[in-house]
Amino acid sequence: MNDVWMWPKTEINNTTVTDNNAVLTEIEQYFSALYAPYKVVYFSRARVAIMAISAVRELSRPQLTFVQPFSSHCVLSAISYQSTPTTVSLEQSTQQIIYHQWGNKTKTNQQVYQNVLIEDAVDSFILTNDKSELFPNDAPFCVISLPKILPVSVGSIVICQQDDDYQQLIKQRLIMAQDIGSFISHIDISAFKEATLQAKPTLVPVIDTGIQTLVENTSNKIQSNLLSIKMIFPELAITITDSAKRLPSNVIISTSKYKEEELYKRAPFNVIEKQRTYYNYQEQCCEKVWLLPCHCQAGW
């Protein structure tokens, strides 16, 4: 049985990462056309994109930025670049980052979450320019991580609501770039990987087929996986037509619905990480959930 993680996995090394400006332009132009009239800025990592957004919005250390409890180290450290992350002081936070958990859209109460800075759609496969999908909480930025939705090594895109933010992010990317010499060899050293990607925010993944073909093939695979899951688990009531604009990386299932063995014995692969914490933004509380991967590397 194959092992499948909650997101696709592609190694980061000098054969999967390149400094090819043509690929950078292709990625930005493709997604800018897909999400028009909104414009897209590319960054080597989603965490680097968050750092750039924090800089252009001039966040400061005394400001609290709310993120959901149990957020990953990369999110917390990226926020810490400019401001102070908090998972408990929502009312005292200057701005908030809302995570659309495993590709499932999160709509918050704007009376409570009054200044959403980023729609954290890192693992949302969004195939529409519909504002209600890209910016459901009216944040100025939407961030998507390419390795969490496509079989690629690195990359992220920031979709900007406003042209001024787009222009400022382009400038900030130039400011962040550093001269580190023959940097591509550094990417093979584990301790230098993230430092290299931060120093060179325009590093791109190697894409043999072109970005459009890759997106289309991946979209078809995810939708096929969802159809298979629907047949295997008819009681989950998965609606493919409703999810076609926003394809998830995982199907979220309440732990009260299934026992672990009952659920995962029906999967055709071994799920590496079966359980995670889901944050309910309305109730402001956490619960444990099961995850069924449906991304492009999940062979349903």
Pick the CATH number of 10-205 from 3.90.550.10, 3.40.50.970, 3.40.640.10, 3.20.20.70: 3.40.640.10
pLDDT of residue 180: 78
Instruction: Give the chain as a DSSP string.
Output: --EE-SS-----STTTEE--HHHHHHHHHHHHHHSTTSEEEEES-HHHHHHHHHHHTT--TTSEEE--TT--HHHHHHHHTTSEEESS-TTT-SEEEEE-GGG------TTTS--EEEEE-TT-EE----HHHH-TT--SEEEEEGGGTSS-SS-EEEEESSHHHHHHHHHHHHHH----SSGGGGGGSGGGHHHHHHH-TT-EE--SS-HHHHHHHHHHHHHHHHHHHHHH-GGG---HHHHTTEE-SEEEEETTT--HHHHHTTSSSEES--EEEEEETTTTEEEEEEEEE-STT---
Q: Residue ranges of the domains in the chain?
A: 10-205, 211-293
Average pLDDT over every residue of 76-94:
95
pLDDT at 246 > cutoff 80 = yes
Which pLDDT does position 242 carry in this prediction? 56
pLDDT tens string 165-197: 999 999 999 999 998 776 677 898 899 999 999
In percent, how much of the chain has pLDDT > 90? 90
User: What pLDDT was estimated at residue 184?
Assistant: 75
Query: Given this model, what pLDDT does residue 179 score?
Result: 81
- Cα torsion 37, 43, 45, 46: sign: negative
Closest to 54 (Cα-Cα) out of 65, 62, 44: 65
pLDDT in tens, 193-211: 999 999 999 999 999 999 9
User: Residues of the chain with pLDDT > 70: what percent?
Assistant: 98
Res 243 pLDDT > 80: no
Place of tokens 């800075």: 117
- The C-alpha R_g of the chain, in whole angstroms, comes to 19
Q: In the prediction, which pLDDT does 139 show?
A: 98
Confidence of residue 153 (pLDDT cuts 50, 70, 90): very high
Q: What is the pLDDT of residue 240?
A: 64
Residue 235: per-residue pLDDT: 85
Looking at residue 244, its pLDDT comes to: 74
- pLDDT beyond 80 at 241: no
Cα separation, 231 vs 220, whole angstroms: 17
Q: What is the pLDDT of residues 250-270, one digit of tens each?
A: 999 999 999 999 999 999 999
